[in-house]
Amino acid sequence: MTKSRVLIVGAGLAGMTAAHYLAEWGAQVYLVDSAPHIGGAFLLLDHTFTTDSCGLCLALPRQPSYCPTISSELHPRIAVLPRTTLAALEGETGHFVARLRRGPRYVDPDRCDNCGACAAVCPVTRPPSADPAHIQFADPVLSQSVNPAHPQSVNPAHPQSVNPAHPQSVNPA
């Protein structure tokens, strides 16, 4: 499998696990997710009560010696493509051609160092996310249109969360 290229659509727990197995077997893996970060709904389990452990790792059949979200972004044979969807898939078994559509990044990845300055100066607020991965327990609170990266992310430009209804509000200095 040394020359194989594999596209995995969905970078949740199952997608990251498959990506790691395939990459360790020698395949070049493209891990695609429409979200601005990888991890899926399992990111909600971060800092689980009572031990304050990472819930993502607790959900795995055996405890890994690494964090799956961080190691996915650092693995040399895994290319993480956030804000990306599968636009078309053509071909036949063993020889497919995938066309991907990358969404706008809103934040310049070359200038982002995950400092949060863009969120601090963003003048536009928005209602809470409609994303089912975000749970609102109290009255809705307005938040900035741009949010800093998820704590378990490595590349700060990958997980920037921007409300597409207000992209004009993001204009890093």
Residue 136: per-residue pLDDT:
52
| Per-residue pLDDT in tens (0 to 9) along the chain, 173 residues | 447 999 999 998 899 989 999 999 999 999 999 887 788 877 666 555 555 556 556 555 565 556 777 778 888 999 999 889 999 999 998 889 999 999 887 777 777 777 777 777 777 776 655 554 455 555 555 666 676 556 665 554 543 444 455 444 333 33
86 and 16 in one domain?
Answer: yes
54 and 32 in one domain?
Answer: yes
> For the chain, how many structural domains are there in total?
2
Provide the whole-model pTM.
Answer: 0.70
Q: Which of 71, 102, 133 is the last residue of a domain?
A: 102
Residue 144: per-residue pLDDT:
63
Residue 84: per-residue pLDDT:
92
Q: Domain of residue 61: give its range.
A: 5-102
94 and 47 in one domain?
Answer: yes
Residue 159: per-residue pLDDT:
39
Q: What's the Cα-to-Cα distance from 158 to each of 94, 97, 131, 132, rounded to whole Å? A: 30, 24, 18, 20
164 and 130 in one domain?
Answer: yes
* E runs forming strands in the chain: 5-9, 28-32, 78-81, 84-92, 95-102, 125-126, 143-144, 146-147, 161-162
Peptide bond into 69 cis (omega under 30): no
Residue 6: per-residue pLDDT:
95
pLDDT digits (tens, 9 = 90+) for 35-82: 877 888 776 665 555 555 565 565 555 655 567 777 788 889 999 998
Distance CA 117, CA 110 (A): 15
Residue 151: per-residue pLDDT:
60
19 and 95 in one domain?
Answer: yes
